[in-house]
Amino acid sequence: MTVLASKILRIFLGVLLAISALLMILFFVNVVSVDMVIYWGYFLLIFTAVIVILFPIVFLIMNPKNSIKIFISLGVMVVIAIIAYSLSQNNFTELQLEELETTADTVKYVGAGLIFTYILASLAVLSIIYASISRIFK
């Protein structure tokens, strides 16, 4: 990223932060309504989503050699997600689901998310251990 683009981005993010802080102060002293804060949150969420989607695409266009590594990483993540979903299960009865006001699918998705997190955390710990051990033998 060029120096000019970095400076412009830093100024823009500073302005967003200042507006957010001002809105929160005005909200807590009852000058602006909850709706205004919620709309600002929607704007920030949409802005963030656009940036999160746009920057990797620009990076892929600028560095086509690295795109294969990115697609392999995405493929591994999808495989891990499929494994996590297939390992998750619903252990609740219909009565328990009604008491919790949830569905079997929601329980399965939550279980898959937890298993996905456990798998990624385990891989992170294993990679740290591998890096430490391989450094000893160098």
Tens digit of pLDDT for each residue in 50-106?
988 988 888 888 888 878 888 898 899 999 999 999 999 988 888 888 888 888 888
Q: Tell me the backbone φ, ψ of residue 18, rounded to 5 degrees.
A: -65, -40
Task: Determine the pLDDT at residue 133.
Answer: 93
Expressed as residue numbers, the domain containing 22 is: 1-62
Q: How many domains does the chain have?
A: 2
What is the DSSP-derived secondary structure letter of residue 31? Answer: S
| pLDDT cut 70: percent of the chain above it | 99
Average pLDDT in the chain: 91
Residue whose token pair is 């802005």: 47
Determine contact, residues 120/80, Cβ cutoff 8 Å. yes
Note whether 77 and 106 are same-domain residues: yes
Q: Is 103 left (phi over 0), alpha (psi -120 to 50) or beta?
A: beta
Whether residue 20 has pLDDT greater than 80: yes
For residues 69 and 136, membership in a common domain is answered with yes
**DSSP designation for 32:** S
Q: Which of 19, 34, 62 is the last residue of a domain?
A: 62
Q: Are residues 85 and 57 in the same domain?
A: no
Are 36 and 18 within one domain? Answer: yes
Residue 18 has which token pair? 């200042």
The residues, ordered by sequence, that sit 6+ positions from 38 with a Cβ below 8 Å of its Cβ are none
User: What was the pLDDT predicted at 1?
Assistant: 55
Which residue's structure tokens are 């804060």?
Answer: 37
Tokens representing 123?
């891989």
pTM of model > 0.85: no
